[in-house]
Amino acid sequence: MFYADIKDIEKWEGINSYLLKNGINTVCREAFCPNMCECYANNTATFLILGKVCTRNCTFCCIDKGIPEKVDVEEPKKIAEYVKRLGLKYAVITSVTRDDLPDEGSNQFARVIDEIKKMDKHIAVEVLIPDFHGRKDLLDNVLRSGPDVVGHNIETVERLYREVRPKAVYKRSLEVLCYIKQKGFITKSGIMLGLGETKDEVKRTIDDLCKYGCDILTIGQYLQPDYRYHDVVRYVPLDEFEYYKNYANDIGIKYVLSLPRVRSSYRAFEIYNLVKGGIENGSSDF
């Protein structure tokens, strides 16, 4: 189910070396994404800003927890330069959660978007943001810079939040998505399966995402990074992924990518183009 072509690995080595040398972080590397070699081979990556240490303690996530490092003021320019070097037409930016900062990192998102757009206004930028505690002023910091897609992951069903996302609030995440949609942006969210959720709970979560304005939904299989993290309760069969895709399409979510290996930013540019082109209800061959 999870594999990488040897040519992808060779391309990955070159890109990974450059990123490490220049102090540019990616969530691909920090979170051990199963698609990393494929994406690097296609000159795509999801940039991780605001350091590599998170202030929250989600039990599924292998990004380091603790006291974060100082914000790198040169980071926006470094990322923009790399986007230019690769000739990217689509850049995805995410971050660790920075509850320790007065602006929770929202202005750094804005600076990265601004630097990329200043370099080339035709480059589309997708951001995957934390909840910023639901503060509209912090959300506005990001939105004012004009991202093309704004994602915030619901991650799991409401019942599992206390166990899986102890510092997050299910309803707050929905309200973040709703606010972004009300401001006129393309919205995106993601769900992991295999954490102990039931089929009815997944359907209710999809219902909630639709109700609160989610345009793009990604659904993937949770994989345990190592023994310290949440157990994989179940490996979900392919036909169930297909069932959730069809269910979400039927209730009105524009585009759903639902496969075991799917992660939030997987094939993000392709999905963005489908949504912008008005192709809905799973009519692509993904």
How distant is the alpha carbon of residue 158 from its chain centre? 19
Helix (H, G, I), strand (E, B) or coil at 187: strand
- Convert 249-277 to b/e letters by CB count within 10 Å (16 or more is b): beeebbbbbbbbebbbbbbbbebbebbee
**33 is annotated as contributing to ligand binding:** yes
**37 is annotated as contributing to ligand binding:** no
Q: Residue length, the chain? A: 286
CB neighbours of 30 closer than 8 A, spacing ≥ 6? 48, 52, 62, 63
**54 is annotated as contributing to ligand binding:** yes
Question: Parallel, antiparallel, or unpaired for β 149-151 and 124-128?
Answer: parallel
For residue 4, what are the CA distances in angstroms to 17, 37, 131, 222?
18, 6, 33, 18
**58 is annotated as contributing to ligand binding:** yes
Q: Please, what is the angle between helix 136-143 and helix 106-119, to 10°?
A: 10
Angstrom distance (rounded) from CA 280 to CA 183: 21
- The amino acid sitting at 248 is A
| 220 neighbors 260 (Cβ within 8 angstroms) | yes
**DSSP code of residue 60:** T
Structure token pair of residue 178: 């709703």
Residue ranges of the binding site: 28, 33, 39, 54, 58, 61, 265
Residue ranges of the binding site for [4Fe-4S] cluster: 28, 33, 39, 54, 58, 61, 265
